[in-house]
Amino acid sequence: MEGLYDRPLLWPNVDTEFALTTIPLAEDYLLHTDKNNCNRFKELDEDVENNPATLTMMSEIDADMETTLFPELRKLAEMPDADTATMNDLCNYIYWANASNLKLKFELTET
């Protein structure tokens, strides 16, 4: 019998000696669970989102961001009338861009 390491590497071709079963992403509820495909996930997500302790925590975080980061970020982004939700979205975008290795240009002055 031919040994496993005596055969040429078949990657990226499929080794037909072994049956492979894959699940399409839209049907893969283990790796792709969200509110649209899992009722229990939806219930848990909504329970956490509407929990008074969660609402208090989010309100406190928003208040802290409004006294520390958001006023200066509004100036830098030239978004003087942006509400707190928009500023949170901007922070998420900056985080995503940084994680995706996108170059963002910020012009900072001495003031």
Digit-by-digit pLDDT tens for the chain (111 residues) are 455 555 555 556 666 677 767 777 667 767 767 888 788 989 999 999 999 999 999 999 999 999 999 999 999 899 999 999 999 999 999 999 999 989 888 776 676
Count of CB atoms situated within 10 Å of the CB of 70:
22
Domain count, the chain: 1
pTM over 0.85: no
Tell me, yes or no, whether 106 lies in a domain: no
Tell me, yes or no, whether 110 lies in a domain: no
Q: Which residues contact 54 (CB under 8 A, 6 or more apart)?
A: 48
Tell me, yes or no, whether 35 lies in a domain: yes
pLDDT for res 89: 96
pLDDT for res 39: 87
pLDDT for res 57: 97
Q: Which domain holds residue 73?
A: 4-99
pLDDT for res 107: 73
d(CA 101, CA 12): 28
pLDDT for res 11: 53
